[in-house]
Structure 1
Amino acid sequence: MTVSTTTARRLRLPDMTSSAFLIIAFLTGIAGALQTPTLSLFLTTEVKVSPFMVGLFFTGSAVMGIFVSQFLGGWSDKKGDRKTLILFCCLLGALGCVLFAFNRSYFILLLVGVLLTSFGSTANPQMFALAREHADKTGREAVMFSSILRAQVSLAWVVGPPLAFALALGFGFTFMYCAAAVAFILCGIMVRAFLPSMPKAMLTTAGPLEAPRNNRRDTLMLFIACSLMWAANSIYLINMPLYVVKELHLSSKLAGMLMGIAACLEIPTMLVAGYLARQLGKRLLMRFAVICGVLFYGSLMFFTGPATLIAIQLLNALFIGILAGIGMLYFQDLMPGQAGAATTLFTNSTRAGWILAGSLAGLVAQFASYYAVFYAALAMVVVSVFCIWRVREA
């Protein structure tokens, strides 16, 4: 009874460290939300490259990100101090933003800028791995704590995309990227001041951890499914601003509004999914998410008006909210005792999705249309349905 009371109190009254995790999750989300939604527009209007080169840039960024994060994820699980690593990544992420702010050379941005931003983006999965270890150590309910952190990232994406377009269109891309650099710097300060230092990231055995099992097949199928789901979402993020402006001839502010609305709806989705995960299981929630994805991308084939595009963001929010909130925890359950590697693998499914999305979005848009790109997104989600159905409950 004493343990239950203590645990409940910890869930109700967040300590300084847990509060810092929430703020850092928001700041890393803001840093990403200021850069990603406007990147295709930045490359098209400022760097002045073709749609194919835009896709190549996203692909190169994803490939570099996979190598960087996979190396850092394995290293941090074995002997690294995640706190120092997160701080290091935040500083390099800030440098990357400064480079994007003042440089307009495509190949310098591709070779140097992408490397720096790859380190910056690795701060987020490492923060979630450290948060999982902190939750296990302090007796917090890990699923709900992680869901709240994911909700903070979504909250950042409510504010970030509209703010990114407002800053870029109102003050220029230089100002916008400098704002992203400031977000990384503030994040680094918070990391240095408040996050716990755990040089050897070991999960406590007090929790309901199971002995390692041969889950390679399930992990592989989950990775393929998540990669395809993220690829569809990445195609949407890359293509949608250009589709709205150049083919539908609507306001560019609508693109930021669509992203912001979806992110806003993702917040309650993540929290509810985190609450239901224990009752319904992660597999059922992931199956529901991928069906929502099929309905969303199928709807994009028919709905082109502002009102209908806004309305179907509910399906998009259910699709991405559950994927973002439950997918990472699903990997961690399939890989007990390897929080860093599991979280990095989930993050790399995002980057694998960017590789597919960058290649297809650029090619299809170059030789067909921005509308045709959504057919590829729909096909990916349909294939992910098959993969999700092959994964067992962890």
Structure 2
Amino acid sequence: MTLAAPPRQRPLTRALVPLGLMFLAVGISVAVIFPFLSLFLSTAVHADPLRVTIFLVASPLTGVLIASPIGRASDRWPIRRKILIGAALAGLAGSVATMFIRDYYVLLALNMPLFAVAGVLFPQSFAYARQVLERDSPGHAAMGISALRTVFSLAWVGGPALAAVLLDVGGFRLVYAMAAVTYAIAALVAVVWLEDIDPPAPVVVDAGGDQPVVSKDASSPARWVIPLTVVAFVLMQVPMTLGVQALPLFVAEDLHSDASRAGLILGLCAALEIPLMLGLGALTTRFRLRPLLLIGAACGVAYYAIAFVAPNIWVLASAQIVNALFIAAISGVGISYVQDLLPNEPGRATTLYTNTFPIGSILAGPLFGVAAYLGYRSAFGMGSALLAAGLVLLFVAGVGARPSRAAT
């Protein structure tokens, strides 16, 4: 018999408001920097294409290497709030430094580790949110995570446009000043409104003796489930990056339309993605996560297959509802799914999930080169095949997962 105190029920909005502000600040800080990073390196730092490529590959790899041990440490000790504060301050320091530093090697040596530490804001914010939601409203944890992921998406709707305006008005110095302000807001929210939370308590079971026994296996899936799940998500992340990279050239060269219409396609997808993410979040209160995730992945297979054979821009546009459902499921429900697989390790679980983004982006680079050689339509054929493989792995991994909202 499990010995556990009943959770304290608190209003969900009490937890979501400060966390929503945190996610908005984190989202804007990334959204104003990332889309123009290669332009900044090329024009302001005067880096050649090789050095730009080195920076763009080394930066996410450093982030993965730093995030993993921090994720594990955050599950052992009550330091998650302190990690959020430290990560926000690292982003603030990196942004202020980038306002003035224009030497490539100094940026590589100083800012890359600073922004790598700042990058843990994303997984650690979700891990913190998971603990708060499980404490305050356990039945709505997955819905709350999806809602917070939507806030991050909203930041990306306006962030790049804001950065473009700032770039025209004051150049990259003003862009990074804006990033510094948002990191400062994130740090302020963590200091003023967030509280320290103890790590999740281990599962305690009655073994029939005089003393309760701590079970390490009661809440964990089979050993091979987590690596297989991570590989599945990596395979599903690659097409997201590859599809965005290839879309303008595919529209121009294969569909014989204006390349600018790619922006309209992406905007349409983003507009559909946000309500769908909220809708799927609401469905998590009534349905198990695994079927929702598998349906979303199947929609991804269907979208990339449709894009592969699309004869014109209108077919591609009409298929964005399927693409948006895929992205909403993978980006929203996917986080809660992995967290459910490791309920006692929210930091590690969320870090494993978020690390699939940069790894998928790195793997998409060589495939984009293949698509440039074979024709940009082939990028969507490769994307559909990768998603089909990811769907199969996700299904197989679910068979070995423990009985939970994620696996059953």
Q: Under TM normalisation by the shorter chain, which class is it?
A: 0.7 to 0.9
Is residue 75–residue 344 contact of structure 2 (8 Å, CA) maintained in 1? Answer: no
Match of residue 222 from structure 1: 229
1:131 aligns with 129
Map residues 1-394 of structure 1 onto 2, 5 A cutoff: 7=9, 10-11=11-12, 14-15=13-14, 17-44=15-42, 46-47=44-45, 54-140=52-138, 141-168=140-167, 171-198=170-197, 200-203=198-201, 211-238=218-245, 240=247, 250=258, 258-301=265-308, 310-361=317-368, 363-364=369-370, 373-392=379-398, 393-394=407-408
Q: Take 2:320 and 2:53, find their aligned partners in 1: how far apart are those partners?
A: 24
Which one has a larger percent helix, Structure 1 or Structure 2?
1
Which shifted more, 378-387 or 317-326? 378-387
Q: Which whole-Å CA distance do the structure 2 matches of 1:98 and 1:88 have between them? A: 15
Deviation at 1:180, TM superposition (A): 1.8
Within 1, Cα distance between the matches of 2:20 and 2:119?
A: 17
Check the 8 A contact 1:269/1:317 in 2, yes or no.
yes
Shift of the alpha carbon at 1:107?
A: 4.2
Distance 1:302 1:155 in 2: 31
How big is the shift at 1:268?
1.6
Check the 8 A contact 1:96/1:113 in 2, yes or no: yes
Structure 1 CA distance for aligned equivalents of residues 381 and 55 of structure 2? 22
The structure having more radius of gyration, on CA atoms, is 2
CA contact (8 A) 2:299 2:326 kept: yes
* Structure with larger RCO (C-alpha < 8 A, sep 6+): 1
How many angstroms apart in 2 are the aligned matches of 1:378 and 1:189? 43
- CA deviations over 1:218-266 (Å, ceiling 9, x no partner): 22221111112122222344555787799989576x6665544433322
Whether the 8 Å CA contact 1:158–1:259 is kept in 2: the answer is: no
The alpha-carbon distance between structure 1 residues 48 and 215, as it changes in their structure 2 partners (threshold 3 A), is farther
Question: Structure 2: any 5+ residue segments left out of the alignment?
Answer: 1-5, 205-215, 399-406
Over 3 Å counting, the alpha-carbon distance change for 1:307 and 1:328 in structure 2 is same
- Could you say if the C-alpha distance between residues 32 and 249 of structure 1 is closer, same or farther in structure 2, counting changes exceeding 3 Å? farther
- For 1:122, give the aligned amino acid: V
Assess, with a 3 A threshold, how the Cα gap between structure 1 residues 205 and 142 changes in structure 2: closer, same or farther: farther
Q: Deviations over 1:295-323 (max 9, x none)?
A: 33334445597766554433332122111
What is the RMSD computed on CA atoms of the aligned residues?
3.5
Distance 1:185 1:138 in 2: 27
Structure 1's 160 and 314: CA in aligned 2 closer, same or farther, altered over 3 A? Answer: farther
Q: What one-letter code is carried by the residue in structure 2 that aligns with 1:272?
A: G
171-180 vs 315-324, greater mean Cα deviation: 171-180
Letter paired with 1:271: L
Cα distance between partner residues in 1 of 2:387 and 2:165: 31
Distance in 2 of aligned mates of 1:47 and 1:246: 32
Asked if the contact 2:124–2:350 (Cα under 8 Å) also holds between the matched residues in 1, the reply is yes
Moved more, 145-154 or 92-101: 92-101
Q: Is the 8 A contact 1:100 1:177 kept in 2?
A: yes
Unaligned runs of 5+ in 1: none
Query: Taking structure 2 as the reference length, what is the TM-score of the superposition?
Result: 0.80
User: What is the SS of the residue equivalent to 2:355?
Assistant: helix
